[in-house]
Amino acid sequence: MNTAKEEVKSLLNTLPEDCTLEDVQYHLYVIEKIQKGISRAKTEGTLSQEEVERNFSRWASQ
């Protein structure tokens, strides 16, 4: 896994030269959320598409 500094360097290399600080903040936010989601999926598990559809059907019919 990359360090935070390496992640930021990689991000800055992929963004256009005319990006704003707001653009950088947004992309860092998205990266953080994705990393947290992956970590959570590893520790708590995931649901199959079938399970999600079944749960959604129950929720939508209430």
Residue of 27, 1, 5 lying closest to 15 (CA atoms): 27
pLDDT digits (tens, 9 = 90+) for 3-55: 999 999 999 999 999 999 999 999 999 999 999 999 999 999 999 999 999 99
Residue 1 has a pLDDT of: 64
pLDDT band at 2 (very low <50, low <70, confident <90, very high): confident
The Cα angle at residue 35 between residues 29 and 36, in degrees rounded to 5: 90
Under a CB-based contact definition with an 8 Å cutoff, are residues 50 and 58 in contact?
no
